[in-house]
Amino acid sequence: MTRRVIRRAALAGVAAAALLASGACGSGFDDSSGGGEQSSGPASLQILIGSSGAAETKAVQDAAAAWASSSGNTATVTPAQDLVQQLGQALAGGTPPDVFYVDAGRFADYASVGALEPYGDRLADADDFYPTLRTAFTRDGKLYCAPKDFSTLALEINTDLWNKAGLTDADVPTTWEQLTAVSQKLKAKGVTPLAIGDTRDRVGAFLKQAGGWITSPDGKQATADSPENLQALQYVKGLLTAGLARYPKQLDAGWAGEAFGKGKAAMTIEGNWIKGALQNDFPNVKYTVHPLPAGPKGQATLSFTNCWGIAAKSKYKEQAIKFVEAMTSADQQLAFAKAFGVMPSRQSAKDRYVQQFPADKAFIDGAEYAQGPVNAPKMDSVLSDFDTGLQGLDQGDPKALLARVQKNTQAALAG
């Protein structure tokens, strides 16, 4: 998840452009539930996934095989080498898989050209999915697809560095003011306080904590140039210029989790994927996980999620919906959580998840107040430019940056 999130915009552009262009030129996609002749007999589902590794691939293939055996269908699960590219080409070429992973950051591009079947409200217990996750896959009032699982950001603290600086549990920051104060204490002890990623996928949490965001909740209006967002970026800039926070490149690291694992910072802001990364690369690091400090408008974090997309052109839509229902049952999601470390998207699975993974409570609690990716099409270049501005935030002008993002977002939404 770490590097997938960071690289998402770079990987997405060509395929998304081809898909959007084909939609504009009459690709044959249909935003209704018709989408061609349907087969009522046994289905031969083709399923394309963006796997995090061998464990996820095996878990999904095993679950698909069990569903197929019990239902009389067949289901072939293929892990993509590059999901964005392969899916974009398949959709644009009119030969999509029946079921596929859809990243929340890509959802609006696919939905806006009618590539996705809007089946979400036909699912049993659709209201059981966390509201923030449903919002990520809702467009024009329609829930298009079932959230597969999710991740959120939280605050990780290196207990050895914390203790060596004379800090205790009572010093864990719960507000921006406390984050600043404890960072000053750490810096005074010669410890870099905070490592944070230099993109909107990390810094964006501060926007939401201040009550701002890049677009309106329906994704129709640009809201970047606001007093709330300015307050957030000024606060982050203050941390950077005071040496209370550092970007990974300033700590000779590829991402903030690596800097944290190497002991170069006492705190970091990362998602629950950091658990596996630290176990693999820095198994001796002791740390605790806490909710992100609240900003002026309260608690907020960011969520990263995929849904099970169904192609509008699939001839096996009803069977595909049954497949998705099986993959998103509470029991199956908990099995996936155990197999490859994701968090269930169903609220009914939360208590059992926390019982099995108590250390992840701060992450899953974040679902109640999380902000998903920008839910609007054609935003790749806008968000990439925003990231470029954030990477120079310590020397930059937050007001000018937000004005540029506002102008670019308005143009993208109008285009």
* Separation of alpha carbons 43 and 240, rounded Å: 55
* Separation of alpha carbons 380 and 357, rounded Å: 35
147, 345 contact by CB (below 8 A): yes
95, 304 contact by CB (below 8 A): no
pLDDT of residue 19: 55
Residue 284 tokens, joined:
């001796």
* Separation of alpha carbons 309 and 150, rounded Å: 15
pLDDT of residue 131: 96
Domain borders along the chain are 2-151+305-371, 152-302+377-414
pLDDT of residue 23: 47
Comparing 2-151+305-371 with 152-302+377-414, is the CATH topology the same? yes
Q: How far is CA 15 from the centre of its chain?
A: 19
* Separation of alpha carbons 415 and 409, rounded Å: 10
128, 337 contact by CB (below 8 A): no
* Separation of alpha carbons 113 and 247, rounded Å: 37
pLDDT of residue 11: 40
Please give the CATH superfamily to which domain 2-151+305-371 belongs: Periplasmic binding protein-like II (3.40.190.10)
Sequential DSSP letters for 133-144: HHHHTEETTEE-
206, 235 contact by CB (below 8 A): yes
pLDDT of residue 27: 41
Eight-class DSSP state of 249: G
Name the architecture of domain 152-302+377-414. 3-Layer(aba) Sandwich (3.40)
| Local confidence pLDDT in tens for the 415 residues of the chain | 444 443 343 344 444 545 554 444 334 444 444 456 787 779 999 999 999 999 999 999 999 999 999 999 999 999 999 999 999 999 989 999 999 999 999 999 999 999 999 999 999 899 999 999 999 999 999 999 999 999 999 999 999 999 999 999 999 999 999 999 999 999 999 999 999 999 999 999 999 999 999 999 889 999 999 999 999 999 999 999 999 999 999 999 999 999 999 999 999 999 999 999 999 999 999 999 999 999 999 999 999 999 999 999 999 999 999 999 999 999 999 999 999 999 999 999 999 999 999 999 999 999 999 999 999 999 999 999 999 999 999 999 999 999 999 999 999 999 8
End-to-end CA distance of the chain: 30
Q: What's the whole-model pTM score?
A: 0.90
For CA atoms 9, 234, 402, 413, the dihedral sign is positive
* Separation of alpha carbons 180 and 373, rounded Å: 27
Task: Quote the radius of gyration of the chain (alpha carbons, Å).
Answer: 21
